[in-house]
Amino acid sequence: MVVSSLNSYPTSNDQVVNINRNNKNPKSRRVNQNGQIQIYQSSYRGSYFSIIRDSLRNAALGRKVLLVQLMKGGVKQGIPNAQKLCGNLTWIRSSNSYDQYESEYINSNKTLEKEIKSSIIELWDFCKKELLSGYYDQIILDEIFLAVEMNIISKDDLISTLENRFISGDVILTGTSIPKNLLLMADQITELRS
Please give the pLDDT value at position 134. 85
Q: Are strands 37-42 and 170-175 parallel, antiparallel or unpaired?
A: parallel
What is the per-residue pLDDT across 7-23, written as a single tens digit (0 to 9) for each? 443 444 444 334 344 44
Report whether 174 contacts 180 (CB < 8 A): no
CATH of the domain spanning 34-192, picked from 3.40.50.300, 3.10.129.10, 3.30.70.260, 3.40.50.410: 3.40.50.300
pLDDT at 120: 94
pLDDT in tens, 134-181: 899 999 999 999 999 999 999 999 999 999 887 677 899 998 888 888
Residue 151 has a pLDDT of 94
**Stretch 54-60: mean pLDDT:** 90
Cβ–Cβ under 8 Å, residues 95 and 79: yes
DSSP letter at 32 equals P
pLDDT tens readout for residues 84-108: 888 899 999 998 888 888 889 988 9
The edge-to-edge listing of strands for the beta sheet with 188-192 is 83-85, 89-94, 65-73, 138-142, 170-175, 37-42, 188-192
Q: For residues 21 and 10, give the distance between their C-alpha atoms in angstroms, rounded to a whole number.
A: 14
Question: For the chain, give me the number of helices (H) and strands (E)?
Answer: 7, 7
Q: What is the pTM of this model?
A: 0.77
Query: What distance in Å separates the CA atoms of residue 137 and residue 97, rounded to the nearest whole number?
Result: 27
Give the C-alpha separation, 122 to 95, whole Å.
9
What does the domain layout of the chain look like in residue ranges? Answer: 34-192
Instruction: Kindly provide the residue ranges of all beta strands, DSSP E only, lying in the chain, ordered along the sequence.
Output: 37-42, 65-73, 83-85, 89-94, 138-142, 170-175, 188-192
- Cβ neighbours, 10 Å, residue 2: 3
Give the span between the Cα atoms of 175 and 41, in whole angstroms.
Answer: 5
Torsion of CA 139, 127, 187, 47, to 10 degrees: 70
Residue 13 carries which side chain, given as an amino acid letter? N
pLDDT in the model for residue 152: 95
